[in-house]
């Protein structure tokens, strides 16, 4: 986006805000009688909006701030997907839920690991949280989870290192569990659908005993699907429990426990067939019959062959199985009026074992699918930590003020094991025809524990919200981390590998400052500046080479301005945000195409900037509309990539400055409508459009745009709700995740249907 266009969008946002304020000012004169407010509350209550809309501006969230501010009072963009919204839209997993948030693109990538793109950033730039506790490594321990056991999903966009530690330059995603409730409540759910899929869940909660001091909540869910692609069975299981104890008038304790399990027959993707490949870096390069190199090739007539749509090119014994256990004890104490202490002790265990062939490329010369990159590994991770916070809600002189200071201490131990065969390797049949093939089996190896990584972190953080005038509030945060990472690469005689030790200490400082101007109780303008830092690679992948250890911390800076408004007598909510993120000292991890070894290199600078708009409207009681639009421009400012192609000179290095990073759509827009016919009958649905994305840094391979349309028809009777839902009703063939430079695409399911029954009583 040019500076001129960005300025124009800024001006447009300002005019939008001005028109809303003008409309509110006009509607406030003459003053409305008090009984009008009562009628408005009857039309659509605050509680209804918080439950049914993704823009509950008066609701509080722990993801954007720990000060208990409402979404309207936080100088940042936050979306909330409540359990009611999740159920109404039929969002089965955390991946589907996050992917429904304005401006977010999500899907499963290699290893069945979720990949989220927020404001043009992904990987370690997006932090995953469970109940505000950061998971040890986003790309390795975060797994798909069934949504039945969750209360809501909160998405904070933009740098959030100040809240959750290093990284999180793109944003943070918080999965929030159901809490104990003094009100008895039971939930039941069952669904069956295409591809022999089913989901079932049951949960209950309420008081324990007659004292009124003990409450509980327990939920269990299971899901299974054969999958449209052969040998792509998926099974999910979740069990969560929470017990609350109102010990005294000033002390509350809550114990949470969660067990999640996922079992995948991995579908890595479908190879893109083509009529040839051409090197784009050498002028006049002839068209070759070969396998593509996504570092520099383009594909001639790329396409997905219909005959391959249901085929799985992975080995028959492929697997990716994971177990996660999470425990936390939350204590909240009132020390004095306006002074509270909050302490959370937490522990997480993650175990995963997988074996796959991860890359499949079409060879136009042999007319075969070439398979390589064996990956057989296990992960056994343990994390223990404690976070203590002191919150003061007391005036600073004559000014209203909320202040928080805290300490977070954690220790993570990663055990890693891989097969000792080295790279590359091949299955029993490395090259196979496009159809009618024997997938073969993995050559069996004994997995060897090859690496131990210990990461110890101590963090000091603070937040403050100071009301400077009646309508103007300053919100600021600061965090200082001391991260001590140590790696031991274990001796392995089968690979002639000696023990290697490496250590690195990081001391990132991150902060955020913003202003929120309340133009009225319903409308606020905000502007903020955020500064974040992160290591050059994930800490679990701490490199052993001295050159990689010497890489500086990556820095990220974001400017954001926006408006949050409720208008039309409370029937409509509107948010708009303009932002720009600049990252420097950026590093990327590459995998050598011959040896399979990973290496980290500094590539320079990247910027992303864009506009996000979202609106929720209830023009009449039976009808609710939600619309969103996001425009994102991402560009390499400085990026020297090693292509491995010596023929172009400079040892194969080439500048990618001006190119778009991979997997970032310029436009994501969607509309969702719900209409209640009366008598219990309702209908809902809408389209979601995602524009084309670059599949490689060379920008020579492109993932096509797509429109996905969903609709549901249902009936409510008493406590029960019955819904028939259709997904991808346009039956489009599209990919949510391009893998290995786009030569392999993980295709979404075609048209499918689901019948569900849900009850709450």
**What local confidence, expressed as pLDDT, does residue 664 receive?**
93
Confidence band (pLDDT; 50, 70, 90) for 31?
very low
**What local confidence, expressed as pLDDT, does residue 589 receive?**
59
Confidence band (pLDDT; 50, 70, 90) for 21?
very low
For residues 56-73, give the mean pLDDT.
87
Q: In sequence order, which residues have a C-beta less than 8 Å from that of residue 679 and are 6 or more positions away?
A: none
3-state secondary structure 539-564: HHHCCCCHHHHCCCCEEEEEEEEEEE
**What local confidence, expressed as pLDDT, does residue 502 receive?**
86
Tens-digit pLDDT profile for residues 546-583: 667 778 888 899 999 999 999 998 899 999 999 999 99
For residues 703-719, give the mean pLDDT.
95
Confidence band (pLDDT; 50, 70, 90) for 519?
very high
Q: Is the pLDDT of residue 316 over 60?
A: yes
Longest distance between any two alpha carbons in the chain, whole Å: 85
Q: Is the pLDDT of residue 131 over 80?
A: yes
Q: Is the pLDDT of residue 723 over 90?
A: yes
Tens-digit pLDDT profile for residues 613-625: 999 999 998 999 9
CB 322 within 8 A of CB 261: yes
**What local confidence, expressed as pLDDT, does residue 139 receive?**
56
Q: Is the pLDDT of residue 536 over 70?
A: yes
List residues bridging with 347 in a β-sheet: 327, 384
CA 709 vs. chain centroid, Å, equals 22
**What local confidence, expressed as pLDDT, does residue 135 receive?**
73
**What local confidence, expressed as pLDDT, does residue 547 receive?**
65
Confidence band (pLDDT; 50, 70, 90) for 141?
low
For residues 646-673, give the mean pLDDT.
89
pTM for the whole thing? Answer: 0.89
**What local confidence, expressed as pLDDT, does residue 388 receive?**
97
Lowest pLDDT segment from 48-57, 326-335, 589-598: 589-598
Terminal Cα distance for the chain, rounded: 51
For residues 414-430, give the mean pLDDT.
62
Confidence band (pLDDT; 50, 70, 90) for 392?
very high
For residues 488-504, give the mean pLDDT.
76
Lowest pLDDT segment from 257-271, 343-357, 496-510: 496-510
Q: What are the strands, taking DSSP E only, across 1-86? A: 77-82
Confidence band (pLDDT; 50, 70, 90) for 445?
low
Confidence band (pLDDT; 50, 70, 90) for 63?
confident
Collapsed DSSP state (helix, strand, coil) of residue 432? strand
Beta strands at 126-130 and 171-177: parallel, antiparallel or unpaired: parallel
Q: What are the strands, taking DSSP E only, across 568-666? A: 572-591, 598-620, 623-638, 640-642, 653-655
Between residues 456 and 114, the one the model is more confident about: 456
Q: Is the pLDDT of residue 35 over 70?
A: no
**What local confidence, expressed as pLDDT, does residue 455 receive?**
92
CB 552 within 8 A of CB 523: no
Confidence band (pLDDT; 50, 70, 90) for 595?
very low
Q: Is the pLDDT of residue 19 over 50?
A: no
* Cα(389)–Cα(409) distance, integer angstroms: 12
Between residues 123 and 223, the one the model is more confident about: 223
**What local confidence, expressed as pLDDT, does residue 4 receive?**
37
Between residues 328 and 6, the one the model is more confident about: 328
**What local confidence, expressed as pLDDT, does residue 5 receive?**
36
Confidence band (pLDDT; 50, 70, 90) for 54?
low
Tens-digit pLDDT profile for residues 661-686: 999 999 999 999 999 999 999 999 99
**What local confidence, expressed as pLDDT, does residue 685 receive?**
96
For residues 457-463, give the mean pLDDT.
96
Lowest pLDDT segment from 121-125, 420-424, 493-497, 626-630: 420-424
**What local confidence, expressed as pLDDT, does residue 336 receive?**
95
Give Cα separations from 739 to 156, 640, 746 (angstroms): 26, 21, 7
For residues 71-91, give the mean pLDDT.
92
How much of the chain exceeds pLDDT 90, in percent?
61
CA 434 vs. chain centroid, Å, equals 34
Q: Which of 224, 229, 235, 218 is nearest to 180 (CA)?
A: 218
Query: Domains (ranges, CATH) in the chain?
Result: 3-760 (2.40.170.20)
Confidence band (pLDDT; 50, 70, 90) for 444?
low
For residues 498-503, give the mean pLDDT.
83
For residues 495-506, give the mean pLDDT.
80
List residues bridging with 208 in a β-sheet: 214
Lowest pLDDT segment from 140-154, 241-255, 266-280, 293-307: 140-154
For residues 733-740, give the mean pLDDT.
83
Q: Is the pLDDT of residue 156 over 70?
A: yes
Lowest pLDDT segment from 291-300, 327-336, 469-478, 483-492: 483-492
Q: Which of 409, 399, 385 is nearest to 327 (CA)?
A: 385
Which element (helix H / strand E) includes 354?
Answer: strand 339-363
CB 709 within 8 A of CB 685: yes
**What local confidence, expressed as pLDDT, does residue 601 receive?**
63
**What local confidence, expressed as pLDDT, does residue 44 receive?**
53
Tens-digit pLDDT profile for residues 177-226: 999 988 999 999 999 999 999 999 999 999 998 888 999 999 999 999 99
Between residues 34 and 307, the one the model is more confident about: 307
Structure tokens at 10: 């800024």
* Cα(507)–Cα(460) distance, integer angstroms: 11
Confidence band (pLDDT; 50, 70, 90) for 736?
confident
Question: Which sign, positive or negative, has the C-alpha torsion 302, 307, 310, 314?
Answer: negative
């Amino acid at each position: 986006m040019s500076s001129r266009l960005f300025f124009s969008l800024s001006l447009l946002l300002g005019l939008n805000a001005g028109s809303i304020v003008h409309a509110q000012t006009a509607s406030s004169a003459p003053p409305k009688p008090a009984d009008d407010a009562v009628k408005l509350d009857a039309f659509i209550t605050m509680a209804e909006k918080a439950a049914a809309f993704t823009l509950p501006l008066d609701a509080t969230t722990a993801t954007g701030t720990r000060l208990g501010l409402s979404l309207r009072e936080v100088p940042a963009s936050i979306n909330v997907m409540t359990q009611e919204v999740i159920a109404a839209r039929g969002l089965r997993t955390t991946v589907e839920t996050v992917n429904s948030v304005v401006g977010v693109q999500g899907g499963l990538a290699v290893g069945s690991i979720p990949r989220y793109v927020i404001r043009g950033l992904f990987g370690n730039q997006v932090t995953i949280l469970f109940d505000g506790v950061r998971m040890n490594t986003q790309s390795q321990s975060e797994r798909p989870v069934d949504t039945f056991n969750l209360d809501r999903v909160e998405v904070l966009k933009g740098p959030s290192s100040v809240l959750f530690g290093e990284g999180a330059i793109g944003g943070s995603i918080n999965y929030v569990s159901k809490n104990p409730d003094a009100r008895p409540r039971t939930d039941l759910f069952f669904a069956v659908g295409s591809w022999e899929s089913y989901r079932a869940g049951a949960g209950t909660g309420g008081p324990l005993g007659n004292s009124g001091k003990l409450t509980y909540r327990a939920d269990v869910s299971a899901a299974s699907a054969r999958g449209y692609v052969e040998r792509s069975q998926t099974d999910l299981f979740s069990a969560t429990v929470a017990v609350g104890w109102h010990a005294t008038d000033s002390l509350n304790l809550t114990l949470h426990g969660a067990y999640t399990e996922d079992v995948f027959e991995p579908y890595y993707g479908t190879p893109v067939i083509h009529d040839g490949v051409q090197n784009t870096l050498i002028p006049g390069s002839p068209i070759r019959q070969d396998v593509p190199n996504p570092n520099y090739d383009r594909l001639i007539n790329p396409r997905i062959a219909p005959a391959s749509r249901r085929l799985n090119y992975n080995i028959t014994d492929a697997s990716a199985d994971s177990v996660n256990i999470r425990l936390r004890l939350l204590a909240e104490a009132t020390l004095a009026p306006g002074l509270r202490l909050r302490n959370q002790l937490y522990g997480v265990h993650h175990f995963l074992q997988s074996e796959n062939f991860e890359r499949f490329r079409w060879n136009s010369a042999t007319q075969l699918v070439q398979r390589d990159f064996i990956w057989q590994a296990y992960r056994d991770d343990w994390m223990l930590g404690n976070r203590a916070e002191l919150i003061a809600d007391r005036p600073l002189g004559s000014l209203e003020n909320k202040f928080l200071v805290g300490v977070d201490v954690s220790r993570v131990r990663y055990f890693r094991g891989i097969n000792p065969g080295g790279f590359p390797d091949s299955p029993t049949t490395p090259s196979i025809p496009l159809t009618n093939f024997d997938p073969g089996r993995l050559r069996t190896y004994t997995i060897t524990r090859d690496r131990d990584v210990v990461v110890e972190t101590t963090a000091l953080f603070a937040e403050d919200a100071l009301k400077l005038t009646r309508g103007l509030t300053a919100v600021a945060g600061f965090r200082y981390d001391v991260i001590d990472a140590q790696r031991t690469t274990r001796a392995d005689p089968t690979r002639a590998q000696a023990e290697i030790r490496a250590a690195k200490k990081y001391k990132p400082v991150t902060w955020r400052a913003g202003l929120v101007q309340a133009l009225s109780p319903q409308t606020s303008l905000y502007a903020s500046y955020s500064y974040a830092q992160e290591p050059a690679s994930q800490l679990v992948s701490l490199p052993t080479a001295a050159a990689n250890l010497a890489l500086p911390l990556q820095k990220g800076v974001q400017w954001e301005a926006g408006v949050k408004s409720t208008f039309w007598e409370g029937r409509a909510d509107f948010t708009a945000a303009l932002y720009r993120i600049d990252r420097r000292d950026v590093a990327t991890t590459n995998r050598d195409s011959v040896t399979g070894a990973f290496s980290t290199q500094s590539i320079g600078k990247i910027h992303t900037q864009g506009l996000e708009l979202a609106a929720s409207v209830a023009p009449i009681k039976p009808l609710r509309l939600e619309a969103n639009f996001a425009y994102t421009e991402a560009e390499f400012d400085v990026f020297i990539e090693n292509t491995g192609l010596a023929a172009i000179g400079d040892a194969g290095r080439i500048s990618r400055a001006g190119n778009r990073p991979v997997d970032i759509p310029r436009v994501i827009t969607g509309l969702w409508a719900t209409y209640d016919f009366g008598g219990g009958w309702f209908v809902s649905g809408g389209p979601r459009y995602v524009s084309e994305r670059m599949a490689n840094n060379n920008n020579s391979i492109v993932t096509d745009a797509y429109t996905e349309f969903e609709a549901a028809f249902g009936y409510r009777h008493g406590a029960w709700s019955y819904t028939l839902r259709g997904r991808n009703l346009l039956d489009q063939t599209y990919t949510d995740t391009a893998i290995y430079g786009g030569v392999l695409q993980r295709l979404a399911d075609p048209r499918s249907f689901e019948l569900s029954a849900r009850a709450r009583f």
